[in-house]
Amino acid sequence: MTQEIEVVIANEAGLHLRPAALFVQTASGYESDIKVRNLTRNTDYQNAKSTIGVMMLQCAKGDIISIQAVGGDASTAVAGLKQLVENNFVTL
């Protein structure tokens, strides 16, 4: 199963090291293959389970990212990552 969503980066500092690490940590908790790209900057897809890959997206506040997951828990994965981004990388 493939799932894909788009979400806006609302964090004032964008997707810098700390939020990127939380994003990767969250993505790594899913079995699905997960990729992410910055639609605003028209970047290539990067592995969402790689801190360096996520940092390469250079996401700033207001940028739109696409999160794509392929696998058995794809729906749960994109929902969890979307929630993390929408909560400004504050884990609940």
Whether 16 is catalytic: yes
Ramachandran area for residue 75 (φ above 0: left; ψ -120 to 50: alpha; else beta): alpha
Query: Which is the catalytic residue, given 16, 56, 60, 76?
Result: 16
Q: Which amino acid makes up residue 66?
A: S
Q: Are 56 and 34 in contact (CB under 8 A)?
A: no
Rounded-to-integer distance, Cα 87 and Cα 38, Å? 18
| Catalytic annotation, residues | 16
